Structure 1
Amino acid sequence: MRYEPAPLTRHLRVRHDRGHTVLEFRGEIDIAAAEEIVPHLDRATAPPDARIVIDLTHVEFFDLSGLRLLYRARLRLADGTGRLRLVCAHPLTLRMLRITGTSRLLHPWPTLDAALEQPEATSGPL
């Protein structure tokens, strides 16, 4: 049985898996959800060598506020040696990531296991 920690907010669970901090976004990621998530995202991305995975598997709605969270995480890690990976398989969210060019900056992995199993040397830059 896999331990699932209690959510930090209605929209976020944070856990550690294979040396990464996994930020699991949940539900509808809109402006209200983003306000709840930002302090936890900032805490997770504070170390310059943070290894972060943002998992969108349990997201039902994702708007520009969600994109701003992805960019915020990427920018906070850009000056250090940290890594940021994104998990997303939802067709509409993937379409938004492609249209906005975000998928070129953050390659979306189809599953959490796929994102975590990639060695650091092949994961690419932020």
Structure 2
Amino acid sequence: MTKQFDDTSSQFDHPCPIRDVLDRIGDQWSLLILKTLENRTIRFTALHKEIGDISRQMLSRTLKKLEKDGYIVRTIYAETPPRVEYALSDLGQSFLKPMNALITWANDNHKAINLARRKS
């Protein structure tokens, strides 16, 4: 028996959309980067300074993944030296509402979660 694929499937499709999306945005840095890019365009160095405790290599790697997945747009300006800026794409902008709801929930429940951890 052969496996059939529709015209829209590709080698990148994941059978579980929830795991596929959460694997990317649920890592240690992606949400923080997306939140930092909210409502603005920023250069790599400024982004690195604002986040603070992320290495330059990890920031670069995470930005590449977020760009590949379509959450951010990287714009290179032909200047000397070259200027590179990052901003949320339309997809990234559409993620702000659920992301901010998650951030609010985490802030509202962080104390209760920590208390529960101490009890176990």
> Does the alignment reach a TM-score above 0.5?
no
* Structure showing the higher helix proportion among its residues: 2
TM-score by length of 1: 0.24
Please identify the structure whose Cα radius of gyration is greater: 2
TM-score by length of 2: 0.25
* Structure showing the higher strand proportion among its residues: 1
